[in-house]
Structure 1
């Protein structure tokens, strides 16, 4: 029972924060409107000075409650800072509803392979409704002959093969789904393309009987883009290409 209550606490906290933000915005609106009229602030009269017959209140519509914003107006800068801080604190609430991890998708075109002939692929975290896309190409140096590629395969196999890739991957930095770490791109559609061709993403040579390794970096990128077009990339408003 205790763990169930703890699981609900973030949602309750988000709801409380949302209510407070709406209250702050509602309170600030009359003050802004009074400034717009003639550039001077008009103080709202106390409630007891604006008493009206009960029948008039019912005839004019819903009951209203005049508020005195004198205390708020005397320290408006601090008030706006509080609103900003509260609004920023609500970002994690919406982030909790998003998928946190990127999921592995192996390419449908099996001719686009890693160095050892295993299928290449990409990780993706979709953001429903977003038309912003971020595509990140992993780096990792290269090899140029059998000796250097054999050594690389023994020491850095994940950069030459997809056989040990995990099914999910948590993004960091510009790929992070957390607004505190990634304030500009946290809710974009994110794609991470693992590097497994050892050719600086420029090769187009398949593995053959005469060659122990394939070098198909450019073909991998082409196939990744082709598959992303069917996932919503064709409707993208912004596409950021990044890498390491």
Structure 2
């Protein structure tokens, strides 16, 4: 078990034809993530080479999900277009499957754009938004796993510690410290530090508490806001 993303999850990449999207998608495949293709408007019918294998590109998320039955998507799209990409993915998952995970890595999305995107996702209760401005989510497996984002996969291992953090680099530090005592991770979630995001501490804590694999939780906050106090009160 794990939370939200199983180690064999099928993943799409929005912005796969861009420099950042292709670079990080290649690292995801190298780790063992089951990428099934990508989406870039206007690039449908093309393919992208990742780790020596060609992956198809679709024009829209509706086409991509219908063709692949994907479980999740990761967004490497420039800030002016990222909120629209979030809403397109959420709408497609909701319409086709009734559920799905949308991970947005993009930093610098205008706040009003995110207010609109988060409200849009909240009206689709089967869809989970992680981010934006986050390192992503990773569920280590026995060999590889599902790495959806930019975190360094090689530092993780399957285990029983759940990690949730606003900070990307401190997430990696927490992983290193758990590994130093021979403890791996069930799932690591970077929720991002932006004032408007999709998933908060309390949702992560509740999911970890319900997960049979997770036996302990590390939560890392940042300066600003009261999310940490609210999580402590909930716990």
TM range (shorter): under 0.3
Structure number with higher helix proportion: 1
Normalising by the residue count of structure 1, what TM-score does the alignment of the two structures yield?
0.25
Q: Which has the higher contact order (CA 8 A, sep 6+)?
A: 1
Which protein is bigger by CA-based radius of gyration? 1
Normalising by the residue count of structure 2, what TM-score does the alignment of the two structures yield?
0.26
